[in-house]
Structure 1
Amino acid sequence: MAETITDVVYPEELEFFVQSLREFRLEQIGNRQWMECHEFVIKLSQQATLEATMNREEVVKECLILHSKLKVLVHEAYSVFVWKTKVLPLLLEMEANPPAMFMIYTVLFHEGAVISLLEIALFHQHGCEALEDSAADLVDYCALGMSQLIGLVSMGYHEKYTKVDVDESILSELERIKRDLIYKIGLRCISILNYMVDKLDVMSLSVGKRMVTVHDVPCLLSEVLHFKPWLRKTDKGYQKYIDEKWKNVVGDEFLKVTKIEAQTWFCLRQILFNENVMRNYEITEFRQRELAKCQGLLFDPILDQLPPLAELKHYLCTLQVSGSGKQSKNMQNLLLEEVPQIKEKIIKDADEYGGFIQVAEDQAEVFLTSKKENIFEMAKRLNDAYNTDLLAEVEAVLDKKDEEVSDDNALKKCISCKKDAEKRCARCLSVYYCSRDCQVENWPVHKQYCQTTTQASAK
C-alpha cells in the first residue's frame, strides 16, 4: 500500500518550492504572492508528512534546513497569529458574512501547515540547530499555544463533538474552525517543545533559561498532564486522540499511552533533569505543590510502558517532602541573551504601515470580495493545492497500521484473565471483566487508576 502512494512534490520541484518560501508582512497576507507561497507550504507539508509516515528519506526536512527556512516558518506562524487576533476581527466588523469565507480559512490553515513542517524538521538535532536566533521566538510561540490549549480544554472543548451543522452560521463555523486549529496546534506545540528540550545542548543557554524564567514550562506541562487533552469521555466510553483523530479505546487499548501523552511526560522529565536549566528555576511553594501532584498520575500502567519515568516519579516524591527555594542561590546570569524579535517586528512593521485598521481596510478587497470570477479562481487554485486524495491514502495506511477500535466489533478481553468479557468497570468504563471474581481480584491494581481517571473526567 505504501509503495503505491505517489509524491506530492517531485524532486525537480522541491528545490524551487523551498527556495520560494519567504517572510510576508501583515498587509501582504492573502495577495497573489502569498497565495502562491501558501500552495508551496501546503504541498511541502503533505510531502513531509508522507515521507515521515512511510519511513522514507526525509528530503523536505533536509531541504528546509539546507536553505535556512526554519526561521521563515517561525515568522509565518507568528504572522498568521497576529493577523487572526488583530486584523481578522476588524475585517469581520466591516462584513459579518464575507462571500469568500474560504479565504479566511486559508490563512488560518496556513498556520497549522507551517507548524506541521516545523514539528517534522525539529525531530532531528540539526533541525533544532538550524533555528539559530529564532529558537527563543519559537519557545514563546509554543508556550502561548500550550496555554491556549489548556484554556480550551478547561472549558470542556474536547469533551464536545464538533460535527458540521449545515445550518451553522458563518461566524459560528469560523469560531468552531478556530477552536479546532487552536487544539491541534497546541498539541503540536507540546511535541515541538519536547524536541527542543531534548536538544537544548545544541542551542543557546538563553533558550532553556527562557523556558523556566519567562514561561514556567514545568508548571505548564503539569497543567497539560492534569487536563489530559488527549482523552475524552463519551456516552459509549472513552476516546483517545491518535493520529489526529479521536478513536474509541477499550480494555488494554485504554491503558496504552498515546504519543502526545508520552511526549508531555518526557518533556517534563528532560527539563527537570537538565542541570543548566534548573539553575535558573526557583522551586517556590506553589511550584513544589504543582509539580509534586504529578506523581499521582504516574501509575503502574504508564511506568510499565515508559520505564524512564520511574526516575521522575522518585524525583517528584522527593520534591513533595523537600524544602522550596533551594535553586535560587544558583541562578545563572547570562551576559548575552537571545531576545525574541519576530513578533515585535511584525507589529512594528504593521504600525509603520498605518496600523491594523489600515491593514484591514487594504485587505478588504481580498477577504471581503463579492466578485464571482475572483472567488472561483482562488477556489480552484486552493482545491488543486489541497490534495485530498493523497490525504485519504495516507489515512488509510495509518488505519491499517493501527485500526480504530470500535465498540460494535472490538473483541473485549478481561483485564485480569484475558478471557472474552462483556461487563465494564461501572466507574471509569475503561476496562472489562468477565466475572465479579476477576473484578474483585484486580481491584487493588485498578483502584488508583480508576479513581484518578474518574476524578479527571469530573473536572
Structure 2
Amino acid sequence: MDSVLLPSEIDIFIDTMTPQKMKDIATPQWLDWHQRLQRLNQEALVEASAVKEEHVKETLVTYGKVKVLIHEAILISIWKQKILPQLFKLEPSPESTFIGYTILYHEAVCVALLELVLYHPSCCETLEDSAADLLDYAYGAASQLLSVKQVEPEAQENTEKELLRQKNNLSFDIGIRSLAIIRYLTENLDRLPFSITSQVYTTYDIPVLFTEILCVAPWLKDEKIYSGGTWKVWDNEQLGQAEAQVWLTLRQLLLDPECPKRYNLTETRRNQLAKLLPLMRPTLLDQLSPLIELNHWLHRVGVMEQSAASTGPLLLETVLGLKDNILKECGGKWKKLAQKQLPLVFNNDKEALQEAARKLSVAYNTDLLEKLEVKDQATCAQCGKGAIQRCSKCKKSWYCSRACQVTHWPQHKEECKC
C-alpha cells in the first residue's frame, strides 16, 4: 500500500511537533498543524495495516513526542467543555461549522494515533508522568460510553444541533478507542510510574467501570456492531474488537498477582464483578479462551467469605501536569477566549473556508480510508471466522481464539518471523 508521507517528511513533522496553546486554536497556523497530524495518523495506519516498519511510532518514541499527542487531546477536550458553549452563547445560529468540526475532529485524530502507537510497550515507557494525564483522560472518555450514544442527523437540523451531534458522535468514537488505550496502560504497569497502579485499581476502579460498560454494551445497536469507526451487521455471536479490549483488560487486572495487594474486594465490588458471569457465554469463551481463567476466578470469588479489609497500598496524590498547566494558562478566561475565537471558529468568509478546505483535503484521504476498511474485517487463518487476536511474533496472522492459533502453528511457523 502506498505511503502517505516520505520518511524525511515524517521526521520533520514529528521533530517540529510542539504543544499548542488554547488561544491559537482555529488560526491558519493551527489548521496547518491539524493537517500534519492527520497525515501522520494516516501514515501510521498504513504502516500498521501493511505490517511494515512503523516509522511514525519509532520517530515519536525517538523524539519523545507521544506526550504532545496527550496534551493535544486534553487541550481539545477542555476547549469543547469550556469554550464551545461560550461560542454558542455569542452566536447561537452560526452559518458555518466547518472549522468547529475540524477542532472537534482534532481530538479524535490524536486519540486514534495514540491507540496505534501505544500498542507497543516502548511507547508506554516514554510516557513517564504524562501517564497520569493519559489515564485520567481515557477514564473520562471511556466513562462517557455509559451515557453517550451515536445518533443520526435530524431532518430539520440547524447548525448548532449539527455540531453538537457531531461532537456527541466523536465522543463515542473516542470513548471506544480509549478502551484500548486503558488496556495498553494496564498491560504495561511495570513500565509506568508506581502511582499509576494505585490509580487504576483505586482512584478510577477500572474493574468496576469496565464491568458497567460490558453490561451496557455500547458497541451494539439495532443488530449492528461498532467496528472500525462504522456500524456493521452483527450475527449475534461474533465478538467485536471493543468488547474484546474490555474483557482482556479485566483479565489482566483481576488475575494479576498484584491484584490482592492493590484491590480490596469489598462486598460492593464483589457484587459488581458478579455481573460478569452471566455475560460469559460459551460463544465468548470459545472466541476468547483466555477468559476461561477469569471465569474460574469469578466463581471462586463468588463463594469466598468476606475477609477483613486489609490496609491498602499507600495512595499517592495524582498530579495532572498537562491538564493543570492548560487550565492555569487559560486562567479561567473562557468568555474572553471565545470572543477572540468566534470569527475564526464560525468563519463566514467563503474564500477563507475554501482555502481551509483545500488544505485539509490533502489530509482527509477518503480513497485511502476505503482501502484500509478491509483491514477491520480480519479473518482467522485457521477457521475463517472473524478474528480479534494477532500473532504476537510476526503480527501478520489473525486468529479467533488461542485454540485456532495452536492448531495453525505447524503451517504458520515457517512464515512467522520473531
What TM-score results when the alignment is normalised by the length of structure 2? 0.86
Aligned partners of 2:376, 2:182: CA distance in 1, in Å?
27
Contact 1:19–1:67 (CA under 8 A) maintained in structure 2: yes
- Which residue number in structure 2 is paired with residue 83 of structure 1? 79
Letter in 2 for 1:32: P
Choose the corresponding residue for 1:73, options 69, 72, 82: 69
Choose the corresponding residue for 1:26, options 22, 25, 37: 22
Aligned partners of 1:170, 1:325: CA distance in 2, in Å?
57
- Which residue number in structure 2 is paired with residue 380 of structure 1? 358
Aligned partners of 2:39, 2:143: CA distance in 1, in Å?
29
Deviation at 1:181, TM superposition (A): 0.7
Contact 1:44–1:60 (CA under 8 A) maintained in structure 2: yes
Contact 2:99–2:347 (CA under 8 A) maintained in structure 1: no
Deviation at 1:218, TM superposition (A): 0.6
Say whether 1:367 aligns with 2:334.
no
Aligned partners of 1:259, 1:300: CA distance in 2, in Å?
18
Choose the corresponding residue for 1:114, options 104, 107, 110: 110
| Secondary structure at 2:289 match in 1 | coil
Which is further off, 172-181 or 261-270? 172-181
Contact 2:94–2:160 (CA under 8 A) maintained in structure 1: no
Deviation at 1:207, TM superposition (A): 0.5
- Which residue number in structure 1 is paired with residue 320 of structure 2? 340
Gaps of 5+ in 2: 380-418
- Which residue number in structure 1 is paired with residue 397 of structure 2? none
Aligned partners of 1:166, 1:11: CA distance in 2, in Å?
46
- Which residue number in structure 2 is paired with residue 271 of structure 1? 253
- Which residue number in structure 2 is paired with residue 312 of structure 1? 294
Say whether 1:246 aligns with 2:205.
no
1:64-115 deviations in Å (ceiling 9; x for gaps):
1111111111110000000000001101111122233110000100000000
Deviation at 1:278, TM superposition (A): 4.3
Contact 1:282–1:325 (CA under 8 A) maintained in structure 2: no
Deviation at 1:243, TM superposition (A): 2.2
Aligned partners of 2:45, 2:247: CA distance in 1, in Å?
24
| Secondary structure at 2:225 match in 1 | strand
Q: Relative to structure 1, is the Cα distance of residues 399 and 126 closer, same or farther in structure 2, using a 3 angstrom cutoff?
A: closer
Contact 1:133–1:338 (CA under 8 A) maintained in structure 2: no
- Which residue number in structure 2 is paired with residue 411 of structure 1? none
- Which residue number in structure 2 is paired with residue 300 of structure 1? 282
Aligned partners of 2:103, 2:260: CA distance in 1, in Å?
38
- Which residue number in structure 2 is paired with residue 432 of structure 1? none
- Which residue number in structure 2 is paired with residue 322 of structure 1? 304
- Which residue number in structure 1 is paired with residue 388 of structure 2? none
| Secondary structure at 1:241 match in 2 | strand
1:376-421 deviations in Å (ceiling 9; x for gaps):
22222122221122212222x337756xxxxxxxxxxxxxxxxxxx
Deviation at 1:330, TM superposition (A): 4.2
Letter in 2 for 1:347: L
Aligned partners of 2:134, 2:265: CA distance in 1, in Å?
25
Q: Relative to structure 1, is the Cα distance of residues 399 and 200 closer, same or farther in structure 2, using a 3 angstrom cutoff?
A: closer
| Secondary structure at 1:82 match in 2 | helix
Question: What RMSD in Å do the two structures reach over aligned CA positions?
Answer: 1.9
Choose the corresponding residue for 1:331, options 312, 322, 342: 312
Aligned partners of 1:8, 1:195: CA distance in 2, in Å?
26
Contact 1:285–1:324 (CA under 8 A) maintained in structure 2: yes
Say whether 1:223 aligns with 2:212.
yes
Letter in 1 for 2:325: K
Contact 2:227–2:376 (CA under 8 A) maintained in structure 1: no
Counting only pairs closer than 5 Å after superposition, residues 36-435 of structure 1 correspond to structure 2 as: 36-152=32-148, 157=149, 162=152, 164=153, 167-233=156-222, 238-250=223-235, 254-324=236-306, 326=308, 328-333=309-314, 339-351=319-331, 355-395=333-373, 397-398=374-375
1:347-374 deviations in Å (ceiling 9; x for gaps):
11100xx611111111122113322322
Which is further off, 238-247 or 56-65? 238-247
Deviation at 1:318, TM superposition (A): 1.7
1:19-58 deviations in Å (ceiling 9; x for gaps):
1221112111112222111111100111111111222221
What TM-score results when the alignment is normalised by the length of structure 1? 0.79
Contact 1:48–1:120 (CA under 8 A) maintained in structure 2: yes
1:186-214 deviations in Å (ceiling 9; x for gaps):
01010010111111111112111111221
Structure exhibiting the larger radius of gyration computed from Cα positions: 1
Deviation at 1:135, TM superposition (A): 0.4
Aligned partners of 1:198, 1:400: CA distance in 2, in Å?
25
Deviation at 1:375, TM superposition (A): 2.0
Q: Relative to structure 1, is the Cα distance of residues 221 and 400 closer, same or farther in structure 2, using a 3 angstrom cutoff?
A: closer
Aligned partners of 1:177, 1:231: CA distance in 2, in Å?
19
Deviation at 1:178, TM superposition (A): 1.2
Count of residues in correspondence between the two structures: 379
Aligned partners of 2:254, 2:317: CA distance in 1, in Å?
21
| Secondary structure at 1:128 match in 2 | helix
Letter in 1 for 2:115: E
Aligned partners of 2:255, 2:133: CA distance in 1, in Å?
23
Letter in 2 for 1:332: P
Aligned partners of 2:195, 2:75: CA distance in 1, in Å?
24
Letter in 2 for 1:245: T
Counting only pairs closer than 5 Å after superposition, residues 433-444 of structure 1 correspond to structure 2 as: none
